[in-house]
């Protein structure tokens, strides 16, 4: 079933892509092919594959149980929040929070997760920003 849902969604995306791709055009024309055909060929081939996937016998896909799905969703949200707050909170603080959150999700004791969070946020910031010269944000609230 998942195969068919995926194929249907992908087919719709390909059709949308074909509409968008059709409008690509350039003023200059000093080569025979131009920028349009290649993406259009790819999109058509993908649409063809999606149709074949839709028509054939779908593979059985085993999705995780509801409780695991719930934890997965939590992990995805945490990662998105981490990305979103990376600059605002700064690397040390956001990494501390992420480490704590993931630690709890993977079954650590709360004090162990908190401790590893503080150590990780501090140590990685020091290692990358100070020792290795990779500039990381300290956060607008600290600077």
Partner 1 sequence: METWTFLMQGFAVAMTPGNLLIALTGCFIGTIVGVLPGLGPINGVAILMPLAFALHLPAESALILLATVYIGCEYGGRISSILLNVPGDAGAIMTALDGYPMAQKGQAGVALSISAVSSFIGSTIAILGIILFAPLLANWSLAFGPAEFFALMVFAIACLGSMMSHNPLKSVLAALIGLAMATVGVDANTGVYRFTFNSVHLSDGIQFVVVVIGLFSVSEILLMLESTSSGQKVVRASGRMMFNLKEATQCVGATLRSSLLGFFVGVLPGAGATIASAIAYMSEKKISGGDTFGKGDIRGVAAPEAANNASACGSFIPMLTLGIPGSGTTAVMVGALTLYNITPGPAMFTEQPDIVWGLIAALLIGNVMLLIMNIPMINLFARMLTIPLWFLVPTIAAISAVGVYAVHSTTFDLLLMVGLGIFGYILRKMDFPMSPLILGFVLGEMLEQNLRRALSISNGNLPILWESPISKVLLILAVAILLLPPLWKRWRLKRAPLTTE
CA distance readout (Å), 20 to 2, 12, 13, 38, 39: 27, 12, 10, 13, 10
- Nearest distance from residue 101's CB to partner 1, in Å? 8
Q: In angstroms, rounded to a whole number, what is the distance separating the alpha carbons of residues 79 and 105?
A: 12
Q: In angstroms, rounded to a whole number, what is the distance separating the alpha carbons of residues 143 and 141?
A: 6
Instruction: Based on the shown chain and the rule CB under 8 A, indicate whether residue 95 belongs to the binding site for partner 1.
Output: yes
Given 4, 12, 15, 52, the residue binding partner 1 (CB under 8 A):
52
DSSP string, 112-129: HHHHHHHHHHHHHHIIII
Given 4, 112, 140, 142, the residue binding partner 1 (CB under 8 A):
112
Given 11, 90, 93, 117, the residue binding partner 1 (CB under 8 A):
117
DSSP string, 24-69: ---S---SSS-SSHHHHHHHHHHHHHHHHHHHSPPPP--PPPHHHH
Residues 66-85 touching partner 1, rule: CB under 8 A, are 68, 71-72, 75-76, 79-80, 82-84
User: Of 13, 64, 18, whose CA–CA distance to 39 is shortest?
Assistant: 18
Instruction: Based on the shown chain and the rule CB under 8 A, indicate whether residue 142 belongs to the binding site for partner 1.
Output: no
- Nearest distance from residue 94's CB to partner 1, in Å? 9
First to last CA, the chain: 52
Given 2, 15, 22, 140, the residue binding partner 1 (CB under 8 A):
2
What are the residues binding partner 1 (CB under 8 A)? 2-3, 6, 10, 17, 20-21, 24-26, 28, 31-35, 38-39, 42-43, 45-46, 49-50, 52-53, 56, 59, 61, 63-64, 68, 71-72, 75-76, 79-80, 82-84, 86-87, 91, 95, 98-99, 102-108, 112-113, 116-117, 120, 124, 128, 132-136
């Amino acid at each position: 079933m998942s195969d068919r849902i995926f194929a249907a969604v992908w087919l719709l995306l390909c059709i949308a892509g074909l509409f968008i791709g059709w409008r690509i055009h350039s003023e200059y024309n000093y080569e025979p092919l131009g920028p349009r055909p290649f993406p259009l060929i790819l999109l058509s081939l993908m649409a063809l594959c999606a149709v074949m996937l839709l028509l054939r016998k779908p593979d059985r896909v085993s999705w995780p149980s509801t409780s695991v799905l719930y934890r997965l969703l939590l992990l995805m949200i945490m990662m998105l929040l981490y990305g979103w707050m990376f600059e605002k909170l700064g690397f040390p603080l956001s990494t501390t929070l992420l480490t704590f959150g993931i630690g709890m999700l993977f079954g650590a004791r709360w004090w162990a997760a908190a401790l590893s969070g503080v150590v990780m946020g501090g140590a990685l910031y020091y290692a990358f920003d100070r020792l290795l010269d990779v500039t990381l944000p300290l956060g607008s609230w600290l600077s």
